[in-house]
Amino acid sequence: MSETMLHLGDTFPHIQVRTVDGQTFSYSAIWQQKPLVLVVVSTSQADANYASALRARASEFNDRETECVITRDTVMGLRTPSVVIADRWGEVVHITEPSGSAELPPPDELIEWIDYIRRRCPECEGEAH
């Protein structure tokens, strides 16, 4: 088992990956503009089903001005499968690295995380520290 390089509060690295749809995604293109939901999956049927369920909800991510990227590429510091959510400034706010696809968070949970990011108040969080 590899050690996770990304932790909550870290800055998400400027990666470039190929999506499951065959497109090239560069994090630099959305940095400081949109939150990111990055999903790393394998070639298993369970992961393909999960990716399909997420793609079916693409309009909900788009409505929230969020980039949802699904890749089979290796992302340094993450296991497969995994989900990372970063705010528009690149702060990692959520990481899930389950032991298998069945434990990946449902699309509704990912959308709830995006709604949380959109509502949170950075000034208030600063007061709490």
Opening angle at CA 32, ends 7 and 62, nearest 5: 95
pLDDT band for position 126 (cuts 50, 70, 90)? low
Q: Which domain holds residue 101?
A: 16-120
Does residue 109 lie in a domain region?
yes
pTM of the model as a whole: 0.90
Task: Identify the pLDDT of residue 59.
Answer: 97
Residue 106, domain member (yes or no): yes
How many folded domains does the chain comprise? 1
Q: What is the largest CA-CA distance in the chain?
A: 46
pLDDT in the model for residue 5: 83
Residue of 84, 61, 65 lying closest to 13 (CA atoms): 84
Find residue 56's DSSP bridge partners: none
User: Does residue 7 lie in a domain region?
Assistant: no
Helix (H, G, I), strand (E, B) or coil at 86: strand
**So what's the pLDDT on residue 72?**
97
In a domain, 30, yes or no: yes
Structural contact between residues 26 and 32, judged by C-beta atoms closer than 8 angstroms = no
122: left (phi over 0), alpha (psi -120 to 50) or beta: alpha
pLDDT digits (tens, 9 = 90+) for 4-39: 589 999 999 999 999 999 999 999 999 999 999 999
Dist CA 2 CA 63 (whole Å): 35
Q: Does 129 reside within a domain?
A: no
Cα separation, 47 vs 80, in Å, equals 10
In tens, the pLDDT along 84-124 reads 999 999 999 999 999 888 999 999 999 999 999 999 876 66
Tell whether 128 is covered by a domain: no
**CATH code of the domain containing 42:** 3.40.30.10
